A = this chain, B = another copy of it.
Amino acid sequence: MLSDRQLLILQVIIDDFIRSAQPVGSRSLSKKDGIQYSSATIRNEMSDLEEMGFLEKTHTSSGRVPSEKGYRFYVDHLLSPQKLQQQDISLIHSIFADRIYEMERIVQRSAKILSELTNYTSIILGPNSQQNRVKKLQVVPLHDDTAIAIIVTDTGHVENRRFSLPKGTNADELEKMVRLLNDQLVGVPLMDLQDHIYKEIAILLRRHIANYDLMLQAFAEIMNIPVYDKLFFGGKMNMMNQPEFSDIDKLRLLMDMIETEESLYPLIRPAQGVGIQVKIGKENDNIAMENCSLITATFPIAGGQKGSLAILGPTRMEYSRVISLLNVLSMDLSKALSSLYFQSKDES
């Protein structure tokens, strides 16, 4: 469909625009190394490329700017995988240099480094804790009528919640209850807790515990684990540096979206499978993301889980570099988080 020359020109235009953020004109193109055509020839090709929808003009006599279709083609067909600098790679590896035992810390550091390496905004979503299984349930009474319930999962994730004890609960009964719950719930994925509570547990409790209904209600509330996991961000403010967001209204729109995390989940959540996914501009289906691209890397974690790494940047983003970085980091993260989780997996 496209001639070699058109491919070349399209590629150079996009590369140039990504660097400069300025519309690219035929004359400046013709002076580039590797281009031996005259500006007139280039103009003709540009005109054709525009007609095909790969390029746009900002006004009648301006240089050309890639369209979303242009970026899409660029990402799908023209991207030459960029070789990362050794420096960058070792910076990524440095995240895992010292043995860390907290998933949160690893992920937080990853997000930070990734944003510093790209100057874009990074978003990381860890493994879905809903699939983790209960390892242990504990209750620490604080006072006559309140207590803290703590659920530890096989992955080392800890959820805790304060709840009120039904009046006149005595310590023995509470302990008995906790033992009962542990017997029933250990090994159950968090997402199934509610079900279990209302089915198996309810029946059992009725038999063994005095005022079982209030107790049940209290525990049911506790087991209501949030569906969404925490998102980790790096460089939240980096988009302010991008010229496309020098307009404060556009900036606000985007920032507000970033702050309301709910709207981000559908964008970040691994669709299916693993690997890199690039969503350009309107492909994200979100007004605030008009001028943004989102590159998501989904990676496997031991035990059938998945994690997701994302970079949010302007459509004019360094796709090649970002994809390379994501590849490296997602492999590292996959390994690191798996080993963190594996330990709990192989003892079952």
Contact = CB atoms under 8 A, between A and B. Distances in A.
A158 interface: yes
A101 B161 contact: yes
A138 interface: yes
Contacts of A237: 252, 255-256, 259
Nearest to A246: B248
Interface bracket on A: 35 or more
A181 interface: no
A154 interface: yes
Contacts of A240: 248, 251-252, 255
Given A148-B158, A236-B259, A248-B240, A143 B102 contact: no
Contacts of A162: 101-102, 156
A291 interface: no
- Copies of the polypeptide in the assembly: 2
A201 interface: no
Contact of A142 (B164, B241, B256, B343): B343
A290 to B, nearest CB: 18
A217 interface: no
Given A143-B344, A150-B158, A158-B158, 10 more contacts: A101-B146, A101-B162, A135-B140, A136-B140, A142-B343, A143-B347, A144-B347, A148-B152, A237-B255, A237-B259
23 contacts: A101-B162, A101-B163, A101-B164, A102-B162, A138-B140, A138-B150, A140-B152, A142-B344, A143-B344, A143-B346, A146-B156, A148-B152, A150-B150, A150-B152, A150-B158, A152-B160, A158-B160, A236-B259, A237-B255, A237-B259, A246-B248, A248-B248, A248-B251
Interface of A: 99, 101-102, 135-136, 138, 140, 142-146, 148, 150, 152, 154, 156, 158, 160-164, 236-237, 240-241, 246, 248, 251-252, 255-256, 259, 343-344, 346-347
